Amino acid sequence: GAGVSQTPSNKVTEKGKYVELRCDPISGHTALYWYRQSLGQGPEFLIYFQGTGAADDSGLPNDRFFAVRPEGSVSTLKIQRTERGDSAVYLCASSSGLIANTGELFFGEGSRLTVL
């Protein structure tokens, strides 16, 4: 497809379990972002990749969260020992370059994570 693809669209897990969320950005987009959105809130920045490297991971809440982008395309957000407070919609976005230059982040539909 032409847009940002995220899988799964919905994930229900139990407290303490491990989850992986996948993002397939628009082909050729070098920048990839992960955001988290709770109900009634704006997207909250988690991590930003430029190519394969994490250029800014200052938004990751703690060391249970980790993200990779090994080949500079697909990215996986990994959450260990999930907690109920991790429940949210995890949004992935990509852009063709620096956001101040290109302007636009293309968001995926998100992965809704529910931790019971």
Partner 1 sequence: QQPVQSPQAVILREGEDAVINCSSSKALYSVHWYRQKHGEAPVFLMILLKGGEQKGHEKISASFNEKKQQSSLYLTASQLSYSGTYFCGTERAGSYQLTFGKGTKLSVIP
How far is C-alpha 114 from the chain's CA centre? 15
Q: How far is the CB of 20 from partner 1 (least distance, A)?
A: 20
Q: Which stretch, 17-25, 66-74, 78-86, 104-112, contacts partner 1 (CB under 8 A)?
A: 104-112
- Name which of 92, 83, 73, 70 is nearest 21 in CA terms: 92
What's the CA gap between 20 and 110, in Å, rounded? 13
Q: How far is the CB of 80 from partner 1 (least distance, A)?
A: 23
In the bound state with partner 1, the residue whose beta carbon lies nearer, of 1 and 14, is 1
Q: Please, which of residues 31-90 interact with partner 1 by CB under 8 A?
A: 31, 33, 35, 40-45, 48, 50, 55-56, 59
Where does this chain bind partner 1 (CB under 8 A)? Answer: 4, 31, 33, 35, 40-45, 48, 50, 55-56, 59, 91, 98-100, 103-110
